[in-house]
């Protein structure tokens, strides 16, 4: 997803990514050397947000993936995911609709398995603060969630690329929806 040109990223939605994850789970469960009851999901950035979405419980409306969700992944690791959006019962209110600064957090994220979020303190694309708040409310409600925030780390902290500002990248965290900082952090 992060290698897809900005002009084409909007065409790959969460529903497609979640369906792909459950398709991979179904394939893994057919392999004789895989314990299909012990499969976790992991992703970074868009994949991190997909990890959060994959761990949502079945919805009340009855979607084609509800059966898979009911018997899905046992755990997830999400690297620098976007937590500042609706995720099941969790939601974030922004001053400018779905973008811009946050003015409130609502509800509880209720994952179907254990979750660890790895976030960068200096991430201006998917701020750690939103994930910290989500984890606090979920943990207080008894869900097995945790977070590790790496000091001074930006988005894509696990890469070996230099830190740089990318003005053309979409950013739901800014009023003009543009501009983010990315780059590796060896300490993280």
pLDDT digits (tens, 9 = 90+) for 98-108: 666 778 899 99
Which residue's entry shows tokens 């900082």? 181
Instruction: Give backbone dihedrals phi and psi of 174, rounded to 5 degrees, phi first.
Output: -115, 155
* Predicted pLDDT of residue 1: 46
- Show Cβ contacts of residue 179 under 8 Å, excluding neighbours closer than 6 positions: 165, 166, 167, 168, 169, 171
For the entire predicted model, the pTM comes to 0.88
Q: Are 100 and 84 in contact (CB under 8 A)?
A: no
Check residue 99 and give its pLDDT: 62
What does the pLDDT read at residue 56? Answer: 92
* Percent residues over pLDDT 70 in the chain: 86
Task: Tell me the C-alpha distance between 55 and 74, whole Å.
Answer: 8
pLDDT of 70? 77
Distance (Å, rounded) from C-alpha 149 to C-alpha 142? 21
Segments making up each domain of the chain, as ranges: 6-182
Domain at 6-182, CATH homologous superfamily = Alpha/Beta hydrolase fold, catalytic domain (3.40.50.1820)
Q: 115-133: per-residue pLDDT in tens?
A: 999 999 999 999 999 999 9
């Amino acid at each position: 997803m992060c290698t897809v040109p900005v002009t084409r990223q909007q065409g790959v939605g969460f529903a497609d990514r979640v369906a792909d994850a459950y398709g991979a789970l179904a394939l893994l469960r057919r392999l004789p050397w895989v314990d299909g009851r012990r499969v976790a999901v992991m992703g970074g950035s868009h994949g991190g947000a997909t990890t959060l979405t994959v761990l949502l419980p079945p919805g009340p409306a009855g979607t084609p993936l509800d059966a898979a969700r009911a018997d899905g992944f046992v755990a997830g690791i999400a690297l620098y995911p976007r937590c500042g959006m609706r995720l099941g019962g969790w939601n974030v209110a922004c001053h400018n609709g779905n973008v811009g600064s946050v003015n409130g957090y609502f509800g509880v994220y209720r994952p179907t398995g254990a979750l660890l979020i790895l976030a960068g303190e200096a991430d201006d694309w998917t701020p750690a603060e939103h994930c910290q708040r989500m984890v606090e409310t979920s943990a207080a409600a008894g869900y097995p969630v945790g977070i590790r925030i790496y000091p001074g780390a930006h988005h894509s902290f696990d890469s070996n690329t230099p830190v740089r500002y990318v003005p053309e990248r979409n950013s739901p965290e800014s009023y003009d929806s543009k501009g983010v900082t990315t780059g590796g952090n060896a300490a993280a």
